[in-house]
């Protein structure tokens, strides 16, 4: 079992990497890290001593004074190196640099020089080092106005703010889940090489390229169809699926759900449209007896919708790694649904006295060999 620590564990990429490593507890032991360790030499040394691999993500990329960005990022690199030297530790260090290395700004300069400092340390101490040159990263839980333009646009559109395009350039993007998989792959590839002075630079390919204005148009279409009609977009394209999953995570679930559906009735009975699709996937129907709970699991790729059409239900969701649980009560007398964002564990309980009728939509056909289902109590 490989012991891995992540500086910047609570940040955007760090959160996704930490949670993804947690899906394989038989392969990886996660060594906890707190930002305060950089202010406590003893704790930083203990952290370094405990790790076989360290992914150094801690960095500053926004500040009104570029000199502060440069000085902060170089200082963090030097502190980590000094802790390794002081404890005679040679963990495999993996470093997140940026395609901005080649641009004329102090952020890019801090990343390039930081990578070069790690390379020098690895060669002199017979350690392993991997430097990733990374394009723009987007995905769920990014901080608006900080991590990416995607995060900013998603936040603005879901909170009734007006997005503004400052420069309508072509941007090269990678989804955070794709980046995390790349990092994990290199951790595993280098495991046998630790301690042999291996230095590697990895140019991470972008997986999508789009003009800022076209990106905004896609997200505006998501908002119009989703907020007004509860409609699922076309998710057959990997980029569109990742963008939709990102968008959904910025919706204020507490105020938006449950989304009430139109109940059509006549002398024959009733009819409700539960899922409007521009996408594929799978629709299922279930009955649940009183007192029974289904679920207590999450997905990292699949989008889901639970629509209650008869009986009474309580749906609970909680973002993995947090204690913030949301609870919604739905009644089939007024058919409604709740959508499940990725990386949110969820369940549904029959809280009534009759059978509960639920329609489930999921964005992929079920595959027993790749179920994308991880069990965790809400």
Which of 29, 30, 47 is closest to 38 using CA atoms?
A: 47
Residue with tokens 């769920």: 140
Q: How far apart are CA 95 and CA 112, in angstroms?
A: 11
Report the pLDDT value the prediction gives residue 192, as an integer from 0 to 100.
Answer: 62
Q: How far apart are CA 10 and CA 66, in angstroms?
A: 23
Reduce the secondary structure of the chain to three states and give it as a string: CEEEEEECCCCHHHHHHHHHHCCCCCCEEEECCCHHHHHCHHHHHHHHHHCCEEEECCCCCCCCCHHHHHHHHHHHHHHHHHHHHHCCCCCEEEEEEEHHHHCCCHHHHHHHHHHHHHHHHHHHHCCCEEEEEECEEECCCCCCCCCCHHHHHHHHHHCCCCCCCCCCCEEEEEEHHHHHHHHHHHHHHHHHHCCCCCEEEEECCCCEEEEHHHHHHHHHHHHHHHHHHCEECCCCCHHHHHHHHHHHCCCCHHHHCCEECCEEEECCEEEECCCEECCCCEEEEEEECCCCEEEEEECCCCCEEEEEEECEEEEEEEECCCCCEEEEEEECCCCEEEEECCCEEEEEEECCCCCEEEEEEECCCCCCCCCCCEECCC
Report the pLDDT value the prediction gives residue 195, as an integer from 0 to 100.
Answer: 53
How does 337-356 read in b/e, with b if 16+ C-beta sit within 10 Å? bbbbbbbbbbbbbbbbeeeb
Mean pLDDT by 10 residues, the chain (378 residues): 96 97 96 96 97 96 92 97 97 94 91 96 93 96 93 96 94 97 90 70 96 97 88 88 96 92 81 79 90 96 94 97 96 95 97 95 89 96
Phi-psi region of 141 (alpha: psi -120 to 50; beta: other; left: phi over 0): left
Alpha-carbon 62 to chain mean position: 20
Beta partners for 133?
97, 203
Report the pLDDT value the prediction gives residue 190, as an integer from 0 to 100.
Answer: 72
Biggest CA–CA distance in the chain, Å, is 83
Report the pLDDT value the prediction gives residue 43, as an integer from 0 to 100.
Answer: 97
Q: How far is CA 221 from CA 106, 228, 243, 247, 250, in A?
A: 36, 11, 12, 11, 15
Report the pLDDT value the prediction gives residue 277, as an integer from 0 to 100.
Answer: 78
Report the pLDDT value the prediction gives residue 196, as an integer from 0 to 100.
Answer: 65
Decide if 6 contacts 18 (C-beta within 8 A).
Answer: yes
Domain boundaries in the chain? Answer: 2-138+174-206, 253-375
Q: How far apart are CA 208 and CA 47, in angstroms?
A: 36
Alpha-carbon 43 to chain mean position: 28
Residue 5 is encoded by which pair of tokens?
């620590």
Fold designation for 2-138+174-206:
Rossmann fold (3.40.50)
Q: How far apart are CA 301 and CA 228, in angstroms?
A: 24
Report the pLDDT value the prediction gives residue 193, as an integer from 0 to 100.
Answer: 56
60: number of Cβ within 10 Å: 15
Residue with tokens 């993804």: 20
CATH for 253-375?
2.60.120.10
């Amino acid at each position: 079992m490989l012991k891995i620590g992540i500086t910047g564990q609570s940040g955007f990429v760090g959160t996704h990497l930490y949670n993804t490593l947690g899906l394989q507890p038989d392969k990886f032991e996660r060594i906890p890290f707190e930002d305060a360790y950089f202010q406590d030499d003893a704790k930083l040394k203990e952290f370094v001593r405990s790790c076989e691999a360290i992914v150094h993500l801690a960095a500053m990329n926004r500040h009104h004074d570029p000199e502060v960005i440069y000085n902060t990022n170089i200082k963090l690199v030097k502190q980590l190196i000094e802790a390794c030297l002081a404890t005679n530790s040679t963990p495999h260090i993996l470093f997140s640099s940026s395609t901005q290395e080649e641009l004329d700004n102090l952020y890019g300069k801090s990343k390039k020089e930081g990578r070069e400092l790690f390379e020098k340390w690895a060669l002199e101490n017979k350690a392993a080092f991997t430097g990733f040159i990374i394009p723009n990263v987007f995905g769920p839980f990014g901080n608006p106005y900080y991590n990416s333009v995607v995060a900013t646009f998603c936040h603005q559109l879901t909170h009734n703010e007006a997005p503004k395009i400052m420069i309508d350039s072509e941007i090269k993007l990678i989804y955070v889940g794709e980046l995390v998989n790349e990092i994990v792959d290199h951790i595993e590839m280098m495991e046998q090489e630790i301690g042999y002075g291996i230095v590697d630079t990895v140019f991470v390919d972008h997986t999508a390229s789009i003009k800022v204005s076209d990106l905004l148009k896609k997200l505006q279409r998501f908002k119009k169809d989703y907020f007004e009609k509860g409609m699922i977009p076309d998710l057959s394209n990997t980029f569109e699926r990742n963008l939709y999953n990102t968008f959904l995570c910025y919706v204020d679930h507490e105020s938006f759900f449950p989304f009430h559906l139109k109940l059509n009735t006549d002398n024959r009975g009733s009819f409700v449209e539960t899922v409007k699709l521009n996408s594929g996937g799978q629709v299922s129907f279930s009955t649940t007896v009183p007192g029974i709970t289904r679920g207590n699991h999450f997905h990292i790729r699949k989008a889901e919708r639970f629509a209650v059409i008869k009986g009474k239900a309580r749906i609970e969701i909680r973002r993995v790694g947090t204690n913030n649980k949301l609870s919604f009560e739905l009644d089939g007398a007024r058919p409604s649904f709740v959508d499940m964002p990725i990386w949110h564990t969820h369940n549904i309980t029959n809280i009534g006295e009759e059978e509960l009728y639920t329609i489930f939509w999921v964005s992929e056909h079920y595959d027993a060999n790749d179920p994308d289902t991880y069990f965790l109590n809400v």
